[in-house]
């Protein structure tokens, strides 16, 4: 009888061991799927980001002074932060005026990312090549930059501009969207403080 009990206990422990192995395999599979979906899959997708310390807007006088105008230089550098390469096929650049809500003593909501007509500059650079800024293939970790230069009419002190840049792939899907928050541009002569 002792041998029969031992045999049954051995069979039960073997069954229990098999259940634990199956549960461990299921748990390991679930962990592998979770890890892939949460950690690895997002970086396998196409990611193009601006390089924060290499995006800068500056205002100056044009090299040859032009009465009533100043120069805006918007330096933009983007980087492929994903693991797969990406091809930038179109650059869409826009500039518009931003008129903030007038102070009313209350909290006001505004959306500077939505263009306010008129759009002062609207240009699409399509294709690839040396003369088309920020376009072409970017391998993982690659950066590309361009300096956009604008001749801008001087304006009153309370007028702001928004600079907007979109990068698109060959299918027209958005790869990146970059805003330069509303900024004061060069002031008209009458608005300058001596």
pLDDT of residue 122: 92
Element (H, E) at 26: helix 2-35
**Above pLDDT 90, what percent of the chain?**
9
Contacts of 135 (CB under 8 A, 6+ apart): 88, 89, 90, 91, 125, 127, 128, 129
User: Cα angle vertex 162, ends 193, 145, to 5°?
Assistant: 110
CA atoms of 125 and 87, how far apart (whole Å): 14
pLDDT in tens, 134-143: 888 888 889 9
For the entire predicted model, the pTM comes to 0.69
CA atoms of 103 and 152, how far apart (whole Å): 27
Do the beta carbons of residue 180 and residue 112 sit within 8 Å?
no
Contacts of 123 (CB under 8 A, 6+ apart): 92, 93, 94
Q: Which two tokens stand for residue 154?
A: 């001087």
């Amino acid at each position: 009888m002792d041998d029969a009990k031992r045999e049954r206990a051995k069979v039960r422990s073997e069954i229990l061991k098999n259940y634990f192995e199956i549960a461990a395999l299921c748990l390991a599979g679930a962990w592998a799927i979770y890890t892939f979906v949460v950690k690895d899959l997002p970086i396998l997708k196409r990611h193009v980001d601006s390089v924060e310390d290499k995006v800068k807007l500056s205002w100056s006088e044009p090299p040859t002074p032009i009465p009533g105008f100043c120069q805006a230089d918007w330096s933009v550098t983007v980087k492929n932060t994903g693991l797969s390469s990406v091809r930038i096929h179109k650059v869409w650049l826009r500039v518009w005026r931003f008129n903030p809500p007038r102070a009313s003593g209350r909290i006001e909501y505004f959306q500077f990312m939505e263009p306010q007509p008129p759009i002062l500059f609207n240009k699409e650079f399509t294709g690839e090549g040396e003369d088309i800024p920020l376009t072409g293939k970017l391998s993982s970790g690659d950066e590309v930059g361009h300096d956009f230069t604008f001749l801008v009419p001087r304006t009153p002190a309370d007028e702001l501009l928004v600079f907007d840049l979109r990068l698109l792939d060959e299918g027209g899907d958005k790869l990146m969207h970059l805003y330069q928050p509303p900024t004061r541009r060069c002031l008209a002569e009458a608005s300058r403080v001596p």
